[in-house]
Amino acid sequence: MSLEYSKKYYKQLEQAVENEENQFLIQEFSGKHYADISEILYQLDGPSCKYILELLGPDVRADVISDLEEDIRIEFLKQYTAEEVAEVIDHLDSDDAVDLLNEQPIKAREEVLTAIQDSEQAAYIMELLHYDEDCAGGLMAKELIRANINWTVKQCIDEIRRQAERVEKIMTVYVVDDHNILMGRVSLKEIILSKDDTKIQDIYVPEIALVHTFQQEEEVAELMQKYDLEVVPVVNVQGKLLGRITIDDIVDVITEQAEIDQQAMAGISENVESSDGIWALTRARLPWLIVGMIGGLFGAQFIGVFENELTLVPAMAFFIPLITATGGNVGIQSSTIMVQSMAGSSYIHDTLWDHFVKVIGVAGVNGLTMASLVFGFNYFFAGPELAMVVSSALFCVVMLASVMGTVTPVVLDRFGINPALASGPFITTANDLLGLGVYFSVAKMLLHL
C-alpha cells in the first residue's frame, strides 16, 4: 500500500507550484489520505508545501501538519504567522492541538492562544496545558460523547448529532451522572439496537476500565493492552470524566518505549534520531562511551599487575579478547531474557528462585560446550597447560556473566532505573573487568606463576 513516487513526479509538483497550476495540484491531492500527503510533502521544500496545503482546505491542512514528524513540523511552522498556526489548531483534536502548541516557541504561544477562533477549543487547550505530556492527562483528548444516565436513547442520539462535527471517531458513549461522575458506557451497537425511548440507565454497562489523569503513559499502555481496549476514559481524583485516550496514541507510546529500550541496550542515553544534529548525537552517545573507556583503563591497570606473568607467558595475552567478548555476549543475552520476562507476566508465576536455577543450568550447558570446543582447539595450538587455563576461565566467565546478567536488571528495577540499561554497555564493561579478573586468577593458580 505504501506509495513510492519518482523524482520526476516531485519535479512535476514543484513546477506546478511555480506555475501556480492550482487545478492540477488540487486534483492530484484531493481524495488522498493525510498520511500519504505528508509522505509526498517530505520531498518538497517548505514554501512549496505551504502553497499546496493552502489549496487543500483547513481540515486536510491541519491533519497533514499534525501528521508530520515533530522536528520537521517545528521547522515547517516557522513559516506560519501566529494567526495561521491558530487556524491549524482550530481544526485539530484537542490532544494534537496541545502537542502542536507546546512545540511553538514560548513567546509565540500566548499569541497563538489568543488567535484561536473556536472558544470551546481554546478552553480545552487551556485545560490540557496543565498536564505533563507523559501522563494520561497529557495524552487525552477532550472530544468525546457524554450521555447523562437519566437520558433516553433519543437524547443521546441528539447529543451525537450535535457533536458529530467535533467528535470524528466516537467508538463508545460515556455515561455520567448529574455531577459528571463517570458511571459506565454504552456501545454504539447498543444505541442502534435500542428503541428511542429506552432509558440509558437500562442499557449501560456499569463496570468500565479507566485511568486517572496522573497515571504514566506506560501504565495506560499496559492497561489498554491487558483489556484489549481501543479507547479508555480519563477521570480526575473525584471520578469526573475529563477526556479519553485512543489506541493510536498508545501504539505510538509502545513504539517509542521499544525504541528507548533498544537505545538503552546500545548505550545511547537520550532519545535521538539519525536526523538530529551532530551535537545532539554526540551528547547522547559520549557518556556511555566514556564509561566503557574508564572500564578499559581500569582493565589496563589490572592487567598491568600481571606484567611479570605476561612476560613469562606472552601467549596469555592472545586470549584476552576471547574471554572479554564471551563475558559480554553471555551477559547481554542473560539480561535481555530477564528484562523481557520482567515485562511479561511470566515473571509472576516463575519464582525468582526457579528462574535462577534455570539460569545456572543454561549457563552450565553453554559454558561446558564452549569450554570443550576451545580446549580442543587450544590443545593443538597453545599446548595443554594454557588450553586448560583458557577453558577453565571461559567456563567460570560464562557462569558469572550469566548470574550478573540476570541479577543486574532486577537490582536496577528495584532502584527505579530502566532495566534495559543492564543489557547495554553497563553489563559489558562490568563483565570485561570480571572476565579479566577470572582469567588472570585462574592462570596464576593453574600455571603456578
Q: Please select the residue that binds its own copies; options are 48, 94, 263, 408, rule is CB under 8 A.
A: 263
Pick 86 or 253: Cβ nearer its own copies: 253
AA letter at 393: A
Q: Which three cell numbers stand for residue 434?
A: 570480571
Which of the residues 292 through 321 are near its own copies (CB under 8 A)?
A: 292-293, 295-297, 299-301, 303-304, 307, 310-311, 314-315, 317-321
Comparison of 82 and 157: residue with beta carbon closer to its own copies = 157
Handedness of CA 176, 177, 180, 184 (dihedral sign): negative
Q: x/- site string to its own copies, residues 127 to 146, per CB under 8 A?
A: --------------------
Smallest gap from residue 70 Cβ to its own copies (A): 11
Task: Assess 399 for contact with its own copies (CB under 8 A).
Answer: no
Q: State the minimum distance, in angstroms, from the CB of residue 130 to its own copies.
A: 23
Number of residues forming the site for its own copies (CB under 8 A): 130
Stretch that binds its own copies, among 12-20, 51-59, 125-133, 343-351 (CB under 8 A): 343-351
What's the CA gap between 145 and 200, in Å, rounded? 13
Q: What minimum distance in Å lies between the beta carbon of 72 and its own copies?
A: 8
3-state secondary structure of 352: helix
- CA torsion through residues 278, 279, 280, 285, sign: positive
Q: What is the closest distance, in whole angstroms, from the C-beta atom of residue 443 to its own copies in the complex?
A: 13
Among 6, 119, 228, 380, binds its own copies (CB under 8 A): 228
Beta carbon of residue 367, minimum distance to its own copies (angstroms, whole number): 9
Judged by CB under 8 A, the residue of 274, 380, 415, 416 near its own copies is: 274
Residue ranges in 68-127 that form contacts with its own copies under rule CB under 8 A: 69, 72
3-state secondary structure of 232: strand
Measured from the CB atom, the residue of 129 and 251 that comes closer to its own copies is: 251
Within 20-49, the residues that bind its own copies by CB under 8 A are 31, 33, 35, 39, 42-43
Contact between 281 and its own copies per CB under 8 A = yes
d(CA 444, CA 449): 5
b/e code 308-320 from CB counts within 10 Å (16+ = b)? ebbeebeebeebb
Grouping H, G, I as helix, E, B as strand and the rest as coil, residue 242 is strand
Q: Does 340 bind its own copies (CB under 8 A)?
A: yes
Query: Which residues lie below 8 Å from residue 263, measured CB to CB, with a gap of 6+?
Result: 269, 271, 272, 284
CA terminus-to-terminus distance, the chain:
68
Enclosing H/E stretch for 383: helix 383-414
The answer to whether the beta carbons of residues 95 and 124 sit under 8 Å apart is no
Q: How far is CA 411 from CA 135, 255, 339, 404, in A?
A: 26, 25, 11, 10
Taking CB under 8 A as the criterion, which residues in 169-208 touch its own copies? 169-171, 187-189, 191-193, 207
Nearer to its own copies, 126 or 290 (CB): 290
Name the segment binding its own copies (CB under 8 A); options: 78-86, 132-140, 235-243, 364-372. 364-372
Which one of 2, 6, 19, 238 is in contact with its own copies (CB under 8 A)? 2
Q: How far apart are CA 184 and CA 408, in angstroms?
A: 43
What's CA 196's distance to the chain center, in Å? 44
Single out the residue of 48, 94, 324, 408 in contact with its own copies (rule: CB under 8 A): 324
Question: How far apart are the C-alpha atoms of 79 and 389, rounded to whole Å?
Answer: 68
Exactly one of 126, 258, 411, 445 binds its own copies (CB under 8 A); that residue is 258
CA distance 30 to 22: 12
